[in-house]
Chain A
Amino acid sequence: MPSEELASLRASVERFARAEIRPAEIDREERIPTRVLSGLAEMGLFGISIPEEWGGAGLGLHGVCEMVATLARIDRSVATMVGLHLGLGTRGLVAFGSDELRAAFLPELAAGRKIAAFAATEAGAGSDLAAIATRAVEFEPGRLRVDGGKIYVTNGGIARVFTIAAATPGLRGAKRGHSLILLERGDRGLEASGEERKLGLRGSSTTSLHLDGVEVPIARVIGAPGHGMEQLAHVLSWGRTAMSAGCSGAAQAALAAAMEHTATRRQFGRPLAAFEVVREQLAQMAALAFAMEALVEQTCALEDSPEELASRSRAAKVFCSEGDWEICDLAVQLHGGAGFIEETGLPLLLRDARITRIFEGANDVLLVAHGASAGLRADLHVGPALAKAKAIADGLAAAVSRQAEELREWLGVRLVTQQRLLHRLGGLLVLRESADAAVLRAEADGTPGTSALAEHWAEIAWRRAAPLLEGPLPLDRIDLIASRAP
């Protein structure tokens, strides 16, 4: 889709969302009204990432992120529902499904007549997805039987199509243990139940999924049996990038609210924004929001490089969800008492932001994984693009590389089991990537405004990196305290 058409679609979505979506009502009723779902379907939003031959618009990750960010500026529950459908919900089928499977399911999904969900988490398998206990066996030639249960299934109550992750050891000779399988509401033995009451994102449906002897043709396995974990990595890359875009959009809404409030609210005879401390916080929020948007853009640009996309989307997810929380929290703070009152919409922004630091990979787990990947790479050099970047970002990049190198030399292969060191290294890497992204975006833009934002963020990132370059506090003392904690 040409960029003018994408801009036009984005404008239509924004117009519709501002006219029809009422966040307070969605939060109160804990559901997204049918008129909103129908309106979004009419605009073709549920099919934007589905190839044209199956009724979609064939947009890539950038297009998906634009739409999710646009919706998230207005309502996070709606953005989550759409983002999940376009990312985790349909991406596995689009990228790995057989033509027969795609032809059977994608047209209805593209039209929004069916909503998609994705079910991986289980009571005993959260971040540790390899521990999935839901099992699928070929009980007779060509027929699978699926047993198990899933929890925290986003879109669970409204979805008609579910991509589930299941253990399938030995299925069709595959050595590897997991597969993604497509199930449908109506498959005997499948039941979604128990809408969860949540801190935020209350309009977004979250249920459990019970799978009690669900029998389906083996053709419902997405792609080659046993390749579920690598498919999952790809699907999660899309999901995390789309979620980062949502964080970026919501943070911009919070920033806009803070800017407006501090410009109009007067104390001691002056607008709040006239106070130095307030301006400092506004600048911090603006620089952070700029870096978040830049990192999402640059993650989208890696769409065709699976390994780089997996790594950058992990960094973007951590950075944007933490940034979203920070900006929403500062927005509440700058609103004073009004920020605590539901009617102003600020508490909803904060409540909706909280889960993003947990779902699609808890941030601490992702930081350890990111640190481990970085720890294994000896090529954390300052790349050609960065050679032109600002000295601060270069300095940060060099410090992170040095730190990784020292740890590699010191610990050898044992580095990958040193969680606290990897967590710090992951944090450093995310800060470095955010500073790089901000600087590169400012370079591409070339205006003094963006240059100031990038410089400001690079300097904040550098200051935040300093404590991470310190060694961790003594583990024996931590263990002693933690074991005695009430």
Chain B
Amino acid sequence: MNLDERIIGMIAQLSAVRRAEIGPTDRLREDLGLDSVCSMELLSMLAEELDVDIALEEAMAVTTVGGAIEMVRQHLGARADAV
């Protein structure tokens, strides 16, 4: 499972929206119903699982599924493809 799939899997788990229906342009709040705490929980789970440090302000600026994937990719750098 690649990084994108892992992230989408976690979003599906938190949002109770089916995995197949989640795409990069989906907005975490408006489209998937994740409130601010839930969105942060997602990013926190990612930070924990992938061992990256993400500042709260940076995480709060993320609004879409694609944005979450991109942010994690940037933090992972070269490690992204190995995850």
Contacts and interface: CB of A to CB of B under 8 A. Distances in A.
Nearest to B26: A175
A19 B63 CA distance: 57
Nearest to A371: B37
B70 interface: no
Overall SS of chain A's interface:
helix
A175 B17 contact: yes
A412 B18 CA distance: 29
Interface residues of B, number: 29
Contact of B36 (A170, A176, A373, A417): A373
Nearest to B31: A175
Interface string B11-32: 0001111100110001000011
A376 B17 contact: no
A413 interface: yes
A403 to B, nearest CB: 15
A178 B16 contact: yes
A175 B43 contact: no
A175 B47 contact: no
A414 B48 contact: yes
A148 interface: no
A167 B14 CA distance: 14
A415 interface: yes
B47 A376 contact: no
Interface string A189-227: 000000000000000000000000000000000000011
A311 to B, nearest CB: 11
Nearest to A130: B16
Contact of A177 (B17, B35, B58): B17
Contact of A412 (B16, B22, B32, B54): B54
Which of A130, A175, A369, A415 has the most chain B CB atoms closer than 10 A to its own CB?
Answer: A175
A372 B40 contact: yes
Contacts of A369: 37
Of listed A170, A176, A178, A375, residue having the most chain B CB within 10 A: A176
Contacts of A6: none
Interface in A122-167: 130, 167
16 contacts: A175-B17, A233-B35, A372-B40, A373-B37, A375-B56, A376-B40, A376-B56, A412-B55, A412-B56, A413-B43, A413-B44, A413-B56, A413-B58, A413-B59, A414-B44, A416-B40
Given A169-B17, A175-B33, 6 more contacts: A175-B17, A176-B16, A373-B36, A376-B60, A412-B56, A414-B47
